[in-house]
A and B are shown apart, each in its own frame.
Chain A
């Protein structure tokens, strides 16, 4: 079966530092990956996505890295801010699928 998991359930960082959130996936057929952010009391919000033909993609203050060899995905947040405190989920999917499989999430806490 598929499993999408995270290496660390919680992460605390100092404001201004960079954050790295990791995710492991087990389905080598997955070719699409998304990171979501979920703030307390809210639904998940899309952050960034990446397809398997890429190994890096950058957004505003965020970078997603994909290592297909070891089935590993990471989200890097530059200059972490208090507003970045949230639970971050990775999700994976396969071409043509209607569904994504979500990891359990990592809680990021930014210390002012």
Chain B
């Protein structure tokens, strides 16, 4: 089974702090994604990466950056956390470059971030 592991399940940070959310997948997937999930808004794509050192903006990239130095690891970075970034963050991976042809996204269990 594919395993997508998010290192932190719960974090509490203060406004202005730098936040790192780490995600690791163990199935040699090409694509990795970061979403945020908010009540009433569903899942919204922040960034994705289809290869090492490659990244693409999603629908809501403002205030975030990402890093993919190794194929299995995709990090989400909040350079200066703000209260409106309080959310559930979900990492996902998929096997192929084109997620539509791959058929599935495999999700981690989420990181709930609270910014005070």
Contact = CB atoms under 8 A, between A and B. Distances in A.
B106 A46 contact: yes
A97 B100 contact: yes
A112 interface: no
Interface residues of B, number: 28
**Secondary structure at chain A's binding surface: helix, strand, loop or mixed?**
loop
Given A43-B90, A44-B107, A104-B41, A99 B4 contact: no
Contacts of B110: 41-43
A46 B92 CA distance: 12
B50 interface: yes
B109 A104 contact: no
Interface string A87-102: 0010101111111101
B17 interface: no
B107 A43 contact: yes
A16 to B, nearest CB: 29
B45 A97 contact: no
Interface residues of A, number: 25
Nearest to A96: B98
Contacts of A41: 109-110
Interface in A56-100: 89, 91, 93-100
Contacts of B42: 4, 89, 102-105
Contacts of A45: 107
B25 interface: no
A91 B97 CA distance: 18
26 contacts: A34-B103, A34-B104, A34-B105, A36-B107, A41-B109, A42-B110, A43-B90, A43-B92, A44-B90, A44-B105, A44-B107, A45-B107, A89-B43, A94-B100, A96-B100, A97-B99, A97-B100, A98-B50, A98-B99, A98-B100, A99-B33, A99-B45, A99-B58, A102-B43, A104-B41, A105-B42
Q: Which 8 A-B pairs have the closest CB atoms?
A: A43-B107, A102-B43, A104-B42, A102-B42, A46-B104, A93-B100, A43-B109, A44-B107
Given A95-B100, A104-B41, 15 more contacts: A32-B100, A34-B105, A36-B107, A43-B4, A43-B90, A43-B108, A43-B109, A46-B105, A91-B43, A93-B100, A98-B97, A98-B98, A102-B44, A104-B42, A105-B42
